[in-house]
Amino acid sequence: MTTSHYIAGRWVEGQGSDCISVNDPALGQPFAELMAASVAQVDQAVTAARGALPAWKNTSASERATYLRGFAEQLGQRREALITLQMRNNGKPRHEAEIDLDDAITTFSYYAELAEQLPSKNRDVPLAAPGFTARTRLEPVGVVGLIVPWNFPLVTSAWKLAPALAAGCTVVLKPSEVTPLIEQAYGQIADALGLPAGVLNIVNGKAETGAALSNHNGLDKLSFTGSNSVGSQVMRSASAQCRPVTLELGGKSAIVVFDDCDVDQAVEWIVAGITWNAGQMCSATSRLLVQDGIADALLTRLQAALENLRVGNPLTEEVDMGPLTSQAQWLKVASYFATAREEGLQCLAGGKALDRDGWFVSPTLYADVPKDSRLWTEEIFGPVLCARRFATEEQAIAEANDSRFGLVATVCSADLERAERVADALEVGHVWINSVQAVFVETSWGGTKGSGIGRELGPWGLSAYQSVKHVTRCLG
Protein backbone atom coordinates (compact mmCIF):
# COMPACT_ATOMS: atom_id res chain seq x y z
CA MET A 1 0.00 0.00 0.00
CA THR A 2 1.92 3.02 -1.25
CA THR A 3 -0.74 5.53 -2.37
CA SER A 4 -1.64 6.28 1.21
CA HIS A 5 -1.98 10.06 1.25
CA TYR A 6 -5.01 12.02 0.06
CA ILE A 7 -3.98 15.51 -1.07
CA ALA A 8 -6.03 17.96 -3.13
CA GLY A 9 -8.52 15.25 -4.08
CA ARG A 10 -5.88 12.78 -5.30
CA TRP A 11 -4.22 9.67 -3.84
CA VAL A 12 -0.44 10.00 -3.92
CA GLU A 13 2.56 7.92 -2.88
CA GLY A 14 4.51 8.89 0.21
CA GLN A 15 7.79 10.69 -0.42
CA GLY A 16 9.03 10.85 3.17
CA SER A 17 11.99 9.05 4.70
CA ASP A 18 10.00 6.91 7.17
CA CYS A 19 8.56 3.50 6.32
CA ILE A 20 5.52 2.74 8.47
CA SER A 21 4.86 -0.88 9.42
CA VAL A 22 1.23 -1.66 10.22
CA ASN A 23 0.98 -4.48 12.74
CA ASP A 24 -1.48 -7.10 13.90
CA PRO A 25 -0.98 -6.88 17.68
CA ALA A 26 -2.54 -10.29 18.31
CA LEU A 27 0.29 -11.85 16.31
CA GLY A 28 3.00 -9.23 16.84
CA GLN A 29 3.58 -9.17 13.09
CA PRO A 30 3.26 -6.55 10.32
CA PHE A 31 0.64 -7.02 7.63
CA ALA A 32 1.12 -3.83 5.59
CA GLU A 33 3.57 -0.99 5.15
CA LEU A 34 3.53 2.46 3.62
CA MET A 35 5.86 5.39 3.12
CA ALA A 36 5.28 8.49 5.20
CA ALA A 37 4.43 11.84 3.69
CA SER A 38 7.32 14.25 3.25
CA VAL A 39 7.46 17.75 4.68
CA ALA A 40 6.80 19.02 1.14
CA GLN A 41 3.67 16.88 0.90
CA VAL A 42 2.39 18.26 4.20
CA ASP A 43 2.87 21.71 2.72
CA GLN A 44 0.96 20.62 -0.39
CA ALA A 45 -1.91 19.40 1.79
CA VAL A 46 -2.12 22.66 3.73
CA THR A 47 -1.90 24.65 0.50
CA ALA A 48 -4.74 22.58 -0.97
CA ALA A 49 -6.88 23.18 2.13
CA ARG A 50 -6.12 26.90 1.96
CA GLY A 51 -7.12 27.01 -1.70
CA ALA A 52 -10.39 25.16 -1.07
CA LEU A 53 -11.41 27.30 1.90
CA PRO A 54 -13.07 30.30 0.17
CA ALA A 55 -15.54 28.18 -1.80
CA TRP A 56 -16.20 25.65 1.00
CA LYS A 57 -16.93 28.20 3.71
CA ASN A 58 -19.44 29.89 1.43
CA THR A 59 -21.41 26.73 0.70
CA SER A 60 -24.80 26.62 2.36
CA ALA A 61 -25.17 24.86 5.68
CA SER A 62 -27.66 22.47 4.07
CA GLU A 63 -25.14 21.53 1.39
CA ARG A 64 -22.50 20.77 4.01
CA ALA A 65 -25.09 18.74 5.92
CA THR A 66 -25.72 16.66 2.80
CA TYR A 67 -22.03 15.77 2.59
CA LEU A 68 -21.93 14.87 6.30
CA ARG A 69 -24.92 12.54 5.91
CA GLY A 70 -23.09 11.02 2.97
CA PHE A 71 -20.11 10.26 5.22
CA ALA A 72 -22.43 8.54 7.71
CA GLU A 73 -24.09 6.46 4.99
CA GLN A 74 -20.81 5.49 3.35
CA LEU A 75 -19.31 4.41 6.68
CA GLY A 76 -22.31 2.12 7.12
CA GLN A 77 -21.79 0.64 3.68
CA ARG A 78 -18.19 -0.21 4.59
CA ARG A 79 -19.23 -1.68 7.92
CA GLU A 80 -17.72 -5.16 7.86
CA ALA A 81 -14.42 -4.10 6.32
CA LEU A 82 -13.92 -1.32 8.87
CA ILE A 83 -14.87 -3.51 11.82
CA THR A 84 -12.43 -6.19 10.68
CA LEU A 85 -9.65 -3.65 10.21
CA GLN A 86 -10.25 -2.31 13.75
CA MET A 87 -9.97 -5.84 15.09
CA ARG A 88 -6.85 -6.59 13.10
CA ASN A 89 -4.88 -3.37 13.55
CA ASN A 90 -6.08 -2.34 17.04
CA GLY A 91 -6.80 -5.74 18.59
CA LYS A 92 -10.30 -4.67 19.55
CA PRO A 93 -12.92 -7.34 20.29
CA ARG A 94 -15.72 -7.32 17.73
CA HIS A 95 -18.30 -5.73 20.02
CA GLU A 96 -15.94 -2.82 20.70
CA ALA A 97 -15.13 -2.34 17.01
CA GLU A 98 -18.85 -2.31 16.23
CA ILE A 99 -19.51 0.37 18.84
CA ASP A 100 -16.63 2.47 17.47
CA LEU A 101 -18.07 2.40 13.97
CA ASP A 102 -21.56 3.24 15.21
CA ASP A 103 -20.07 6.14 17.17
CA ALA A 104 -18.45 7.57 14.02
CA ILE A 105 -21.67 7.19 12.03
CA THR A 106 -23.71 8.88 14.76
CA THR A 107 -21.21 11.75 14.96
CA PHE A 108 -21.50 12.60 11.26
CA SER A 109 -25.29 12.35 11.40
CA TYR A 110 -25.45 14.58 14.49
CA TYR A 111 -23.32 17.34 12.99
CA ALA A 112 -25.33 17.18 9.78
CA GLU A 113 -28.39 18.05 11.86
CA LEU A 114 -26.50 20.72 13.77
CA ALA A 115 -25.26 22.27 10.52
CA GLU A 116 -28.84 22.63 9.31
CA GLN A 117 -29.76 24.37 12.56
CA LEU A 118 -27.00 26.96 12.26
CA PRO A 119 -28.44 30.46 12.57
CA SER A 120 -28.30 32.92 9.74
CA LYS A 121 -24.81 34.29 9.27
CA ASN A 122 -26.04 37.66 10.49
CA ARG A 123 -27.82 38.18 13.79
CA ASP A 124 -28.78 41.62 15.11
CA VAL A 125 -27.37 42.63 18.48
CA PRO A 126 -29.40 45.14 20.54
CA LEU A 127 -27.35 48.13 21.71
CA ALA A 128 -28.06 50.43 24.65
CA ALA A 129 -26.36 53.36 22.90
CA PRO A 130 -28.47 55.21 20.28
CA GLY A 131 -27.20 55.92 16.80
CA PHE A 132 -25.56 52.56 16.13
CA THR A 133 -26.56 49.11 14.87
CA ALA A 134 -24.64 45.90 15.39
CA ARG A 135 -24.74 42.41 13.99
CA THR A 136 -22.77 39.25 14.70
CA ARG A 137 -21.57 36.54 12.36
CA LEU A 138 -20.40 32.98 13.07
CA GLU A 139 -17.66 32.12 10.61
CA PRO A 140 -15.42 29.06 10.15
CA VAL A 141 -12.09 29.45 11.91
CA GLY A 142 -10.33 28.50 8.64
CA VAL A 143 -7.84 25.74 7.82
CA VAL A 144 -7.41 23.29 10.69
CA GLY A 145 -4.87 20.58 11.38
CA LEU A 146 -6.31 17.48 13.04
CA ILE A 147 -3.92 15.05 14.75
CA VAL A 148 -5.55 11.89 16.10
CA PRO A 149 -4.35 8.93 18.22
CA TRP A 150 -4.18 5.19 17.71
CA ASN A 151 -6.50 3.98 20.48
CA PHE A 152 -9.77 5.08 18.88
CA PRO A 153 -9.03 5.68 15.19
CA LEU A 154 -12.08 6.48 13.07
CA VAL A 155 -13.89 7.69 16.21
CA THR A 156 -11.58 10.48 17.33
CA SER A 157 -11.19 11.64 13.74
CA ALA A 158 -14.99 11.75 13.36
CA TRP A 159 -15.25 13.85 16.53
CA LYS A 160 -12.97 16.43 14.87
CA LEU A 161 -13.69 16.08 11.18
CA ALA A 162 -17.50 16.23 11.32
CA PRO A 163 -17.81 19.52 13.28
CA ALA A 164 -14.95 21.10 11.34
CA LEU A 165 -16.66 20.39 8.01
CA ALA A 166 -20.04 21.42 9.42
CA ALA A 167 -18.59 24.79 10.44
CA GLY A 168 -17.17 25.37 6.95
CA CYS A 169 -13.50 24.65 7.72
CA THR A 170 -11.11 22.78 5.47
CA VAL A 171 -8.84 20.23 7.09
CA VAL A 172 -5.57 18.33 7.03
CA LEU A 173 -5.90 15.09 8.99
CA LYS A 174 -2.86 13.25 10.34
CA PRO A 175 -3.68 9.75 11.68
CA SER A 176 -1.43 7.87 14.07
CA GLU A 177 1.42 5.94 12.49
CA VAL A 178 0.30 2.93 14.58
CA THR A 179 -3.13 2.79 12.92
CA PRO A 180 -2.82 4.66 9.60
CA LEU A 181 -5.11 2.56 7.43
CA ILE A 182 -8.64 3.01 8.72
CA GLU A 183 -8.77 6.80 8.26
CA GLN A 184 -8.14 6.22 4.56
CA ALA A 185 -11.83 5.38 4.45
CA TYR A 186 -12.54 9.10 4.83
CA GLY A 187 -10.57 9.86 1.68
CA GLN A 188 -12.36 7.09 -0.20
CA ILE A 189 -15.69 8.45 0.97
CA ALA A 190 -14.72 11.99 -0.07
CA ASP A 191 -14.04 10.64 -3.56
CA ALA A 192 -17.33 8.75 -3.65
CA LEU A 193 -19.31 11.81 -2.55
CA GLY A 194 -17.54 14.25 -4.85
CA LEU A 195 -16.35 16.39 -1.93
CA PRO A 196 -14.53 19.37 -3.47
CA ALA A 197 -10.80 18.78 -3.81
CA GLY A 198 -8.77 20.17 -0.93
CA VAL A 199 -11.59 20.27 1.62
CA LEU A 200 -10.24 17.06 3.19
CA ASN A 201 -6.58 16.08 3.05
CA ILE A 202 -4.97 13.09 4.80
CA VAL A 203 -1.23 12.75 5.42
CA ASN A 204 0.32 9.78 7.19
CA GLY A 205 3.62 9.72 8.99
CA LYS A 206 5.53 9.69 12.26
CA ALA A 207 6.85 12.54 14.40
CA GLU A 208 8.38 14.41 11.46
CA THR A 209 5.03 14.58 9.68
CA GLY A 210 3.20 15.66 12.82
CA ALA A 211 5.75 18.37 13.52
CA ALA A 212 5.56 19.64 9.94
CA LEU A 213 1.80 19.98 10.28
CA SER A 214 1.88 21.52 13.76
CA ASN A 215 4.49 24.09 12.74
CA HIS A 216 2.91 25.04 9.40
CA ASN A 217 2.05 28.72 9.23
CA GLY A 218 -0.84 28.03 6.88
CA LEU A 219 -3.05 26.63 9.66
CA ASP A 220 -5.60 28.68 11.58
CA LYS A 221 -6.17 26.10 14.34
CA LEU A 222 -4.81 22.82 15.67
CA SER A 223 -6.84 20.06 17.30
CA PHE A 224 -4.85 17.26 18.93
CA THR A 225 -5.75 14.15 20.90
CA GLY A 226 -2.96 12.13 22.48
CA SER A 227 -0.32 12.12 25.17
CA ASN A 228 0.59 15.07 27.36
CA SER A 229 4.21 14.97 26.18
CA VAL A 230 3.25 15.39 22.52
CA GLY A 231 0.40 17.75 23.42
CA SER A 232 2.86 20.14 25.03
CA GLN A 233 4.88 20.16 21.79
CA VAL A 234 1.74 20.89 19.78
CA MET A 235 0.89 23.72 22.16
CA ARG A 236 4.38 25.19 21.77
CA SER A 237 3.96 25.11 18.00
CA ALA A 238 0.61 26.86 18.28
CA SER A 239 1.95 29.45 20.71
CA ALA A 240 4.66 30.46 18.25
CA GLN A 241 1.88 31.49 15.86
CA CYS A 242 -0.58 32.62 18.57
CA ARG A 243 -3.27 30.38 17.11
CA PRO A 244 -5.96 28.44 18.97
CA VAL A 245 -5.68 24.80 19.98
CA THR A 246 -7.96 22.10 21.27
CA LEU A 247 -6.06 19.51 23.31
CA GLU A 248 -7.58 16.27 24.60
CA LEU A 249 -4.84 14.70 26.67
CA GLY A 250 -4.30 12.15 29.40
CA GLY A 251 -6.16 11.05 32.50
CA LYS A 252 -5.79 9.16 35.75
CA SER A 253 -9.44 8.91 36.57
CA ALA A 254 -11.18 7.71 39.71
CA ILE A 255 -14.15 5.42 40.21
CA VAL A 256 -15.68 5.96 43.66
CA VAL A 257 -17.73 3.09 45.13
CA PHE A 258 -19.78 3.69 48.29
CA ASP A 259 -20.73 0.86 50.62
CA ASP A 260 -24.45 1.05 49.79
CA CYS A 261 -23.71 -0.09 46.24
CA ASP A 262 -24.62 -3.55 44.95
CA VAL A 263 -21.31 -5.41 44.76
CA ASP A 264 -21.95 -7.32 41.54
CA GLN A 265 -23.16 -4.20 39.75
CA ALA A 266 -20.15 -2.24 40.96
CA VAL A 267 -17.80 -4.95 39.69
CA GLU A 268 -19.38 -4.69 36.23
CA TRP A 269 -18.82 -0.93 36.09
CA ILE A 270 -15.26 -1.19 37.42
CA VAL A 271 -14.23 -3.92 34.96
CA ALA A 272 -15.66 -2.00 32.01
CA GLY A 273 -13.85 1.15 33.10
CA ILE A 274 -10.42 -0.48 33.15
CA THR A 275 -10.52 -3.23 30.49
CA TRP A 276 -12.42 -1.59 27.62
CA ASN A 277 -9.94 -1.28 24.74
CA ALA A 278 -7.50 -3.13 27.03
CA GLY A 279 -7.40 -0.05 29.24
CA GLN A 280 -5.88 2.02 26.42
CA MET A 281 -8.10 5.05 26.84
CA CYS A 282 -7.55 8.41 28.43
CA SER A 283 -10.81 7.99 30.35
CA ALA A 284 -9.87 4.65 31.96
CA THR A 285 -10.99 4.71 35.59
CA SER A 286 -7.71 3.28 36.81
CA ARG A 287 -7.96 4.53 40.42
CA LEU A 288 -10.55 2.62 42.46
CA LEU A 289 -11.69 4.28 45.69
CA VAL A 290 -13.89 1.88 47.66
CA GLN A 291 -15.54 2.55 50.99
CA ASP A 292 -14.36 0.45 53.94
CA GLY A 293 -17.65 -1.34 54.54
CA ILE A 294 -17.73 -2.95 51.10
CA ALA A 295 -14.01 -3.12 50.30
CA ASP A 296 -13.19 -6.75 51.19
CA ALA A 297 -16.23 -8.22 49.44
CA LEU A 298 -15.78 -6.05 46.36
CA LEU A 299 -12.06 -6.73 45.94
CA THR A 300 -12.65 -10.49 46.24
CA ARG A 301 -15.28 -10.46 43.50
CA LEU A 302 -13.31 -8.04 41.38
CA GLN A 303 -10.28 -10.32 41.54
CA ALA A 304 -12.38 -13.25 40.30
CA ALA A 305 -13.99 -11.18 37.54
CA LEU A 306 -10.64 -10.02 36.16
CA GLU A 307 -9.14 -13.51 36.32
CA ASN A 308 -12.14 -14.90 34.40
CA LEU A 309 -11.93 -12.45 31.52
CA ARG A 310 -11.24 -14.08 28.16
CA VAL A 311 -8.11 -12.54 26.65
CA GLY A 312 -7.14 -13.43 23.11
CA ASN A 313 -7.09 -12.76 19.37
CA PRO A 314 -10.43 -11.17 18.41
CA LEU A 315 -10.18 -12.50 14.86
CA THR A 316 -10.00 -16.13 15.95
CA GLU A 317 -11.60 -16.26 19.41
CA GLU A 318 -14.61 -14.99 21.36
CA VAL A 319 -12.84 -12.59 23.71
CA ASP A 320 -13.59 -9.97 26.33
CA MET A 321 -10.24 -8.20 25.90
CA GLY A 322 -7.71 -8.17 23.10
CA PRO A 323 -4.00 -7.34 23.04
CA LEU A 324 -2.35 -3.99 23.54
CA THR A 325 -2.17 -2.21 20.20
CA SER A 326 1.59 -1.76 19.89
CA GLN A 327 4.79 -3.32 21.12
CA ALA A 328 5.81 0.03 22.58
CA GLN A 329 2.68 0.10 24.73
CA TRP A 330 3.20 -3.54 25.75
CA LEU A 331 6.72 -2.70 26.92
CA LYS A 332 5.46 0.35 28.79
CA VAL A 333 2.81 -1.62 30.68
CA ALA A 334 5.32 -4.37 31.44
CA SER A 335 7.62 -1.74 32.94
CA TYR A 336 4.86 -0.74 35.37
CA PHE A 337 4.50 -4.37 36.40
CA ALA A 338 8.21 -4.29 37.25
CA THR A 339 7.76 -1.04 39.18
CA ALA A 340 4.90 -2.59 41.16
CA ARG A 341 7.17 -5.47 42.16
CA GLU A 342 9.91 -3.04 43.17
CA GLU A 343 7.43 -1.06 45.26
CA GLY A 344 6.09 -4.24 46.88
CA LEU A 345 2.51 -3.64 45.83
CA GLN A 346 -0.10 -6.25 46.70
CA CYS A 347 -1.16 -7.86 43.41
CA LEU A 348 -4.55 -9.58 43.56
CA ALA A 349 -4.82 -10.38 39.85
CA GLY A 350 -2.58 -10.31 36.79
CA GLY A 351 0.54 -8.21 37.02
CA LYS A 352 2.31 -9.85 34.09
CA ALA A 353 2.65 -10.04 30.35
CA LEU A 354 1.15 -13.21 28.90
CA ASP A 355 3.47 -15.85 27.45
CA ARG A 356 2.07 -16.10 23.95
CA ASP A 357 2.48 -14.55 20.51
CA GLY A 358 1.35 -10.96 20.30
CA TRP A 359 1.24 -8.10 22.78
CA PHE A 360 -1.00 -9.46 25.51
CA VAL A 361 -1.04 -8.58 29.20
CA SER A 362 -3.28 -9.83 31.96
CA PRO A 363 -6.03 -7.65 33.49
CA THR A 364 -4.43 -6.48 36.70
CA LEU A 365 -5.54 -5.41 40.19
CA TYR A 366 -3.35 -3.97 42.94
CA ALA A 367 -4.82 -3.40 46.42
CA ASP A 368 -4.09 -0.76 49.05
CA VAL A 369 -1.78 1.18 46.74
CA PRO A 370 0.02 4.09 48.44
CA LYS A 371 -0.81 7.57 47.17
CA ASP A 372 2.84 8.21 46.30
CA SER A 373 3.15 5.10 44.12
CA ARG A 374 3.89 5.74 40.46
CA LEU A 375 1.10 3.35 39.61
CA TRP A 376 -1.38 5.52 41.52
CA THR A 377 -0.28 8.84 40.02
CA GLU A 378 0.87 8.11 36.45
CA GLU A 379 -1.21 7.25 33.39
CA ILE A 380 -0.34 3.65 32.44
CA PHE A 381 -2.68 3.23 29.44
CA GLY A 382 -3.32 -0.45 30.02
CA PRO A 383 -5.67 -2.74 32.00
CA VAL A 384 -4.04 -1.93 35.34
CA LEU A 385 -6.32 -1.01 38.26
CA CYS A 386 -5.09 0.38 41.59
CA ALA A 387 -7.37 0.32 44.62
CA ARG A 388 -7.48 2.29 47.87
CA ARG A 389 -10.03 2.37 50.70
CA PHE A 390 -11.78 5.42 52.14
CA ALA A 391 -13.96 6.07 55.15
CA THR A 392 -15.98 9.22 54.43
CA GLU A 393 -17.47 11.07 51.50
CA GLU A 394 -15.12 14.00 52.13
CA GLN A 395 -12.08 11.71 52.01
CA ALA A 396 -13.27 10.12 48.75
CA ILE A 397 -13.69 13.52 47.08
CA ALA A 398 -10.31 14.73 48.30
CA GLU A 399 -8.46 11.63 47.06
CA ALA A 400 -10.30 11.58 43.74
CA ASN A 401 -9.37 15.23 43.13
CA ASP A 402 -5.75 14.70 44.20
CA SER A 403 -4.42 14.32 40.66
CA ARG A 404 -2.77 16.46 38.03
CA PHE A 405 -5.39 15.17 35.60
CA GLY A 406 -9.10 15.94 35.47
CA LEU A 407 -10.77 14.14 32.58
CA VAL A 408 -13.56 11.89 33.93
CA ALA A 409 -14.82 10.04 37.00
CA THR A 410 -17.50 7.52 37.96
CA VAL A 411 -19.59 7.51 41.14
CA CYS A 412 -21.38 4.36 42.33
CA SER A 413 -23.98 4.70 45.09
CA ALA A 414 -27.58 3.75 45.83
CA ASP A 415 -27.99 7.18 47.46
CA LEU A 416 -28.60 9.27 44.33
CA GLU A 417 -28.60 12.53 46.23
CA ARG A 418 -25.12 11.76 47.51
CA ALA A 419 -23.98 10.58 44.08
CA GLU A 420 -25.08 13.86 42.51
CA ARG A 421 -23.40 15.82 45.29
CA VAL A 422 -20.11 13.98 44.80
CA ALA A 423 -20.34 14.37 41.02
CA ASP A 424 -20.64 18.14 41.46
CA ALA A 425 -17.57 18.19 43.73
CA LEU A 426 -15.26 16.24 41.40
CA GLU A 427 -12.78 18.33 39.39
CA VAL A 428 -13.28 16.66 36.02
CA GLY A 429 -14.96 17.26 32.69
CA HIS A 430 -17.39 14.32 32.68
CA VAL A 431 -18.91 12.19 35.46
CA TRP A 432 -20.92 8.99 35.19
CA ILE A 433 -23.26 7.92 37.97
CA ASN A 434 -24.01 4.18 38.30
CA SER A 435 -23.06 3.50 34.70
CA VAL A 436 -20.46 2.24 32.30
CA GLN A 437 -18.72 4.94 30.29
CA ALA A 438 -21.53 5.70 27.87
CA VAL A 439 -20.46 8.63 25.67
CA PHE A 440 -23.17 10.43 23.71
CA VAL A 441 -22.49 12.81 20.85
CA GLU A 442 -24.84 15.39 22.37
CA THR A 443 -22.69 15.72 25.51
CA SER A 444 -19.32 17.46 25.83
CA TRP A 445 -15.95 15.74 26.00
CA GLY A 446 -12.81 17.19 27.52
CA GLY A 447 -11.17 17.77 30.85
CA THR A 448 -9.65 20.12 33.39
CA LYS A 449 -6.12 20.49 34.79
CA GLY A 450 -3.59 18.51 32.75
CA SER A 451 -6.27 16.70 30.74
CA GLY A 452 -6.48 19.35 28.08
CA ILE A 453 -7.96 22.55 26.70
CA GLY A 454 -11.40 22.94 25.13
CA ARG A 455 -14.31 20.60 24.49
CA GLU A 456 -15.37 18.23 21.74
CA LEU A 457 -18.79 16.79 20.88
CA GLY A 458 -22.15 18.47 21.30
CA PRO A 459 -22.60 22.09 20.23
CA TRP A 460 -19.28 22.84 21.98
CA GLY A 461 -17.51 20.70 19.39
CA LEU A 462 -18.98 22.80 16.59
CA SER A 463 -18.19 26.13 18.27
CA ALA A 464 -14.55 25.04 18.55
CA TYR A 465 -14.32 25.48 14.77
CA GLN A 466 -16.19 28.78 14.60
CA SER A 467 -15.05 32.35 15.15
CA VAL A 468 -17.29 35.27 16.12
CA LYS A 469 -17.26 38.52 14.14
CA HIS A 470 -19.18 41.67 15.12
CA VAL A 471 -20.02 44.46 12.71
CA THR A 472 -20.99 47.82 14.22
CA ARG A 473 -22.33 50.66 12.06
CA CYS A 474 -22.89 54.29 12.88
CA LEU A 475 -26.28 55.54 11.68
CA GLY A 476 -25.24 59.20 11.61
Please count the other Cβ atoms lying within 10 Å of the Cβ belonging to residue 476: 6
Largest Cα–Cα distance in the chain?
Answer: 82
The helix (run of H) or strand (run of E) holding residue 393 is helix 393-401
Q: What share of the chain is helix, strand, coil (3-state, %, to 5)?
A: 40, 20, 35
For residue 267, what are the β-bridge partners? Answer: none
Please state the φ and ψ torsions of residue 236, each to the nearest 5 degrees: -65, -40
- Residue of 364, 358, 400, 398 whose CA lies nearest to 380: 364
Query: Taking Cα atoms as reference points, which of 362, 401, 431 lies closest to residue 252?
Result: 401
Of 261, 282, 386, 412, catalytic: 282
Strand 10-12 relative to strand 5-7, pairing: antiparallel
Per DSSP, the three-state class of 191 is helix
The edge-to-edge listing of strands for the beta sheet with 466-474 is 123-124, 132-140, 466-474
Q: How far is CA 166 from CA 145, 186, 279, in A?
A: 15, 15, 32
In the chain, DSSP finds a helix count (H) and a strand count (E) of 15, 22
Q: Do residues 325 and 280 touch, judged by C-beta distance below 8 A?
A: yes
Give me the catalytic one of 248, 379, 399, 456.
Answer: 248
Task: Tell me whether residue 282 is one of the annotated catalytic residues.
Answer: yes
Active site residue 183: no
Which are the catalytic amino acids? 248, 282
